[in-house]
Amino acid sequence: MVEKENILMQRYEMGKLLGKGSFAKVYHARNVKTSQSVAIKVIDKEKILKCGLVDQITREISVMKLVKHPNIVHLYEVMATKTKIYFVMEYVKGGELFNKVQRGRLQEHVARKYFQQLIRAVDFCHSREVYHRDLKPENLLLDENRNLKISDFGLSAVSDCKRQDGLLHTSCGTPAYVAPEVISRKGYDGAKADIWACGVILYVLLAGYLPFQDKNLMDMYKKICKAELKWPSWFSSDVRKLLWRILHPNPSTRISIAEIMKYPWFRIDLDASLFDYTMNKIEDDTLADMDLALDSAKSNVVECNVAAEELTNFNAFDIISLSNGFDLSGLFEENTSKEESKFMSTNTSLAIITKLEEVAKSLQLKVIKISGGLIKMEGSRPGRKGVVSINVEAFQITPTFHLVEIKKTNGDSLEYQKIMEQGLRPALKEIVWSWQGEQAEK
């Protein structure tokens, strides 16, 4: 990883850890020749290979070189060893805009300045046919001059990602910031979806909280699709009119970036130089660095027997697939099945699986098979319709959230319900964040 005396590849002196995620850690570092501060994202090759994320990492690097812009975090170079990939990036020491909002809502003129810079950068991305798809305050950084910089292009898409209908179809992003058409899973315009996210961000900056929120994910999606906005008393009429046009549920009539730029509220104290930035060319040398970084990756795959790694990986939108249909109409139907239950848990996969085994034994249910996140349980003797058989499967949605699905596969429904209500539900209480259709407990 880091060479002798904490110097990476004789070029960067590694410093403190700035943050970490499922597949990478970000460190502060210093260029030993120029003394320039940089941020270095250290990515574990083994993990991205095992999870099939090589294409995503490749696209992220390509996109970051394609959108070199004053309001976008700059990628300087890409390096690699046999086990690690290193993104050497601009160090933005002001932190996340999210941290600023956490301390309270922003004054209108401050929020407008950040919104102007955000629109400037997003417009530039769209001019290069790049769609971020995960715009939110956590991915907006501030430099020492309080200028905004967009980061994290890991979920971004380019024109090549579109299907024959000219639309994007991968549902991704952070649930509270996604557009209604993304939730519907019927295809969406990446530019229109980014504009919606910009509107949610502006609302958050001005209000200090989200426009559409609910502890129940499905209820939150319902609010997003209806786009029923409630206005804080301090929102000016001009802001309300603009947000009403940005947070419009129909993408075909949603305001465009060109129209936003002409909007009177947006143009107040506007720095004209914001939109004078010249389009830049892709730097072929860094794209070559990218190829070298990923070149020998497949020969370095090592199997990892960690319980969490064996679970099926979901993003929040895949929960929609668990409804009766893939369209939005099926998403909000009440779950009337008496043979299936689901719950969310913030526990680790190991804790969930261990608890499930423990509870099964206490209820005299035989554990037939454990494979990754799947547990099969059977009753000890036949009932009216044979032996009750139950499948319990855990799906990793994020590193800190798991969805657990409990389904009867054989036996009497009344007997299954008795096991659920008198046995499994009470016994699993300590690991359950919320059952489907119920509010999560604080």
DSSP state of 396: E
255, 248 contact by CB (below 8 A): yes
Which residues partner with 19 through β-bridges? Answer: 26
Which tokens belong to 391? 């499948």
pLDDT of res. 317: 46
pLDDT of res. 319: 43
Tens digit of each residue's pLDDT, the chain (442 residues): 444 568 999 999 999 999 887 778 999 999 999 999 999 999 988 888 877 778 788 888 889 988 999 999 999 999 998 899 999 999 999 989 999 998 899 999 999 999 999 999 999 999 999 999 999 999 999 999 999 999 999 888 887 788 878 888 877 788 899 999 998 878 899 999 999 999 999 999 999 999 998 877 778 888 999 898 999 999 999 999 999 999 999 999 999 999 999 999 999 999 877 666 654 444 444 444 445 444 544 333 333 333 333 444 444 444 444 433 333 333 333 444 567 888 888 787 788 888 888 898 899 898 876 655 678 899 878 878 888 999 888 876 655 567 888 988 888 888 888 889 888 999 998 888 778 755 444 4
How far is the C-alpha of 330 from the C-alpha of 321, rounded, in Å?
Answer: 10
Which tokens belong to 357? 């085994």
Domains and CATH numbers, the chain: 4-91 (3.30.200.20), 97-275 (1.10.510.10), 312-435 (3.30.310.80)
The question of whether 318 is a catalytic residue gets the answer no
Which tokens belong to 174? 């952070």
Could you say which of 44, 55, 123, 134 is catalytic? 134
pTM: 0.67
391, 374 contact by CB (below 8 A): yes
Find the helix or strand (DSSP H, E) in which 291 lies: helix 284-295
State in Å, rounded, how far the first CA of the chain is from the last one: 41
How far is the C-alpha of 134 from the C-alpha of 22, rounded, in Å?
Answer: 17
pLDDT of res. 36: 96
Using alpha carbons, select from 251, 25, 234 the residue that is nearest to residue 131: 251
Which residues partner with 28 through β-bridges? Answer: 39
How far is the C-alpha of 174 from the C-alpha of 197, rounded, in Å?
Answer: 10
Find the helix or strand (DSSP H, E) in which 204 lies: helix 190-207
How far is the C-alpha of 78 from the C-alpha of 286, rounded, in Å?
Answer: 7
How far is the C-alpha of 171 from the C-alpha of 99, rounded, in Å?
Answer: 27
Which residues partner with 96 through β-bridges? Answer: 141
Which tokens belong to 219? 């209820």
402, 349 contact by CB (below 8 A): yes
Tell me whether residue 294 is exposed, middle or buried, using C-beta atoms within 10 angstroms of its C-beta: 0 to 12, 13 to 18, 19 or more: buried
